[in-house]
Structure 1
Amino acid sequence: MKLAILGAGMIVKDFLTMVGAIPEIELKAIVGTTRSIENLQNLKENYGIEAMYTDFDHCLTDNSFDTVYVALPNHLHYAYAKKALEYGKNVICEKPFTLRLSELVELKEIAHANDLILIEAVTNQYLANYQAVKDALPKLGELKIIECNYSQYSSRYDAFKEGTILPAFDPKKGGGALMDINIYNIHFVVGLLGMPESVQYKANVERGIDTSGLLFLNYPNTKVVCIGAKDSASAIRSTIQGNQGSMIINGPTSIINQVELQVNKSEAQVIDQKLGEHRLYEEFWIFNQVIAAHDTKFAERRLEHSLKVMEVVELALEDAGIQLG
């Protein structure tokens, strides 16, 4: 994969510390704003990136790369992914894919029309430990209850309470607990059970944005609650309960560091099959394979999953009376 990176924030810096472990990924360009030019220059030099741009349109005329990694704030994902697709580039887009389901549907249509790969970068879907959870589900018997709690006090919440609205809490920029951290829980559950029969979102709303909330997903035989909070903190873990056993995932659903499986009161078994220490390694290793093989069938399956997640998000925000963008 010949890659152009769009953005220079925390996720990009984290990605760059890992990507050297996948030598097949060639770093062809990084794109940012004129305000971040010193930061861009440092990243270019420190990580051997071939070119630097502050104009995305100019960058897209560069034929040295075939894929754009969109790692910008949430509200910019749709517009920049669309432009990259229209220029004939494959797109890897950070979560949440878009702010609206209709925007993702449009991106999918453009990708199909141009025979391009379009895929969402959401860590948990590609982790070996997540596959281990899927494989172990039948051992639990009939699934009854799933609870996912990803709650951590945001360093930006105090400023928000005092009236400084940063992107993490700005409804115009796709902020809020659901879109930031609870969305990992949604991906986790929808990847296991598919689209729920109904969605309810009971949120604590301040200045038009959810600072925390409980998302209820109803399945025929399974009841699910996904908890996401940026205004309070708790032990971060998920539990899956069936009539024959249970699983505990300690830590956030974005990482799935370790899985504890207990069946029929037997001694608990610890499952840890992760392939790399860095949380982004497994997904980008797979992305490289998918783009190298131009595996549109795999990308299509992943898009169908992302569309379900966006539908859940849209139903949840509507239920809570929250308008983004």
Structure 2
Amino acid sequence: MKKIRFAVIGTSVITKKFLEAASLCSQFEFAAVYSRNAEKGRAFVQNMGNIRVYDSLEDLACSRDIDAVYIASPTCCHASQSILMLENGKHVLCEKPVASNFREWRNMRKVSGENKVILLEAMRPVFNPGFQIIKKNLAKLGQIRKVNFNYCQYSSRYDKFKNGIIENAFRPELSNGALMDIGVYPVEVMAGLFGKPKHIAAHGYIIPGSIDGMGSITATYEGMQADLVYSKISDSHLPCEIQGEKGTMYFNSITGLEDIRIRYRNGYEEKYSADTNQHDMIYEVEGFIDMIAGKRLAKEYNDISSISLEILDQARELIGIVFPADASC
């Protein structure tokens, strides 16, 4: 298979991490970067070789030298930028959350299908080898009754916020906030493992004059309940767990799915190692390239994104989080 010529939209830290991981894929070729500021774009690719710099999204979309685009712009831009690229025959790998709301995502999937190109959310955990280990061994737990997933990580940007410096992570007009930035991780892992819940309840704390800083979601399934806790204004060091009638599965990180263990009711414990690459974004890149080549289907992962966005929409409504992007819903 020929190399896939990638452009990236965005010059943030996550884009740099993406490029570090993607460079390990033999079929990946970094070809171009888009930035609203061409000078900033040139600085980003300095010493990276002959990388084209675009300051026009339309010019990038029309380029015949680009096969796929990785989008790492603010969430409020994901739908419009993805649709422009998809309409011009570009495959799109878009950072999480893939859209501001389910309506935007539905339109994105429609355009992807109409133009016969791949659209995929860059959600690390569901591509991580640890996710398959968890999924494969769930049956050992017997009837699953209780799930506790948490992702609470104090943000350095919160310190800046308290000092009057408001960065993107705390701007509701960009479709950001704790739920969208990090709550999405436990939501998507839950959706990937257990599907769509029958009912959800949600609570959150809105930082005065800003966006949500923390919250929780309780999802009800047939015979099972999942509690998801997330925060950008406090830390948690508790493991995640899946409780069954025969035993309980533990793992340390909802993003890395590390140190997976099952402790049975008789005290016996099993340990699993995923041997994960330190550049764990490599797995979503490999999956995306395989989908372009027709070796894998995007539908399974797109269905997880659909369930996730429906849950996020419901949770935001219950908590009272409204984005400008919701206006036309």
For normalisation by structure 1, the TM-score amounts to 0.94
Shift in CA distance, 172/268, structure 1 to aligned 2, threshold 3 Å = same
Q: How far did 1:44 drift?
A: 2.3
Q: What pairs up with 1:110-259 in 2 under 5 angstroms?
A: 110-206=111-207, 207-251=209-253, 253-259=254-260
2:98 partner letter: F
CA contact (8 A) 2:241 2:249 kept: yes
1:22 corresponding residue in structure 2: 25
Q: Distance in 2 between matches of 1:100 and 1:314?
A: 6
2:266, 2:152 → 1: CA distance? Answer: 29
8 Å CA contact 1:208, 1:322 repeated in 2:
no
Where 1:225 maps in the other structure, the secondary structure is strand
Shift of 1:321: 1.1
- Offset of 1:49 from its aligned partner? 5.3
Counterpart AA for 1:213: G
Deviations 1:47-82 (A, max 9, x none): 335311111111222111111111111111111111
Task: Say if 1:75 and 1:172, in contact at 8 Å, map to a contact too.
Answer: yes
Structure 1 unpaired stretches of 5+: none
Using the alignment, how far apart are the partners of 2:219 and 2:285 within structure 1?
29
Secondary structure in structure 1 of the residue aligned to 2:45? helix
What is the alpha-carbon distance in structure 2 between the residues aligned to residue 172 and residue 163 of structure 1? 17
Summarize the Cα distance change of 1:172–1:236 in structure 2 as closer, same or farther, 3 Å threshold.
Answer: farther
Tell me if structure 2 keeps the 8 A contact 1:27–1:49.
no
Output the CA distance in 2 between the equivalents of 1:190 and 1:46.
41
- The 5 Å alignment of 1:267-306 reads 267-293=268-294, 295=296, 298-306=297-305
SS at match of 2:298: helix
Alignment deviations for residues 235-266 of structure 1 (CA, whole Å, 9 cap, x no partner): 15311111100111112x11112211222334
- Is the 8 Å Cα contact of residues 192 and 304 (structure 2) preserved in structure 1? yes
Partner amino acid, structure 2, of 1:299: A
C-alpha separation between the residues in 1 aligned to 2:5 and 2:136? Answer: 33
Q: Is the 8 A contact 2:17 2:279 kept in 1?
A: no
Within 1, Cα distance between the matches of 2:17 and 2:55? Answer: 21
- What's 1:313 paired with? 312
Q: What is the DSSP-based 3-state SS (H/G/I as helix, E as strand, rest coil) of the residue aligned with 1:81?
A: helix
Residue 66 of structure 2 aligns to a residue whose secondary structure is coil
- In 2, the alpha carbon distance for the partners of 1:16 and 1:180 equals 21
| Cα distance in structure 2, aligned partners of 1:52 and 1:258 | 41
Residues of 1 paired with 2:164 and 2:51: CA distance? Answer: 41
Given that 2:23 and 2:29 are in contact with CA atoms closer than 8 Å, whether structure 1 keeps it comes out as no
User: Quick one: which amino acid aligns to residue 196 of structure 1?
Assistant: P
Aligned counterpart in structure 2 of residue 11 of structure 1, from 14, 26, 34: 14
Q: 2 CA distance for matches of 1:236 and 1:84?
A: 41
What's the offset of the Cα at 1:230? 0.7
> Is 1:167–1:175's contact at 8 Å kept on the other side of the alignment?
yes
Q: Post-superposition shift, 1:275?
A: 4.5
Q: Verify the 8 A CA contact 1:27 1:48 in the aligned structure 2.
A: no
State the distance in 1 between where 2:211 and 2:92 align.
29
Q: What letter is aligned with 1:26? A: E
Secondary structure in 2 aligned to 1:46? coil
Q: Is residue 261–residue 268 contact of structure 1 (8 Å, CA) maintained in 2?
A: yes
Structure 1 pair 260–82 and aligned structure 2 pair: CA distance change class (3 A) = same
Partners of 2:219 and 2:227 within 8 A in 1: yes
On the 8 A contact 1:111/1:117 being kept in 2, the answer is: yes
Distance 1:45 1:242 in 2: 52
Match of 1:93 in 2: 94
Cα drift, residue 294 of structure 1: 7.1
Tell me, in whole angstroms, the C-alpha distance in 1 between the residues paired with 2:164 and 2:44: 33
Distance change >3 Å, CA 189–CA 224, structure 1 → 2: same
The answer (yes or no) to whether the contact 1:139–1:263 under 8 Å persists in 2 is no
Specify the SS of the correspondent of 1:262: strand
Q: State the number of aligned residues.
A: 320
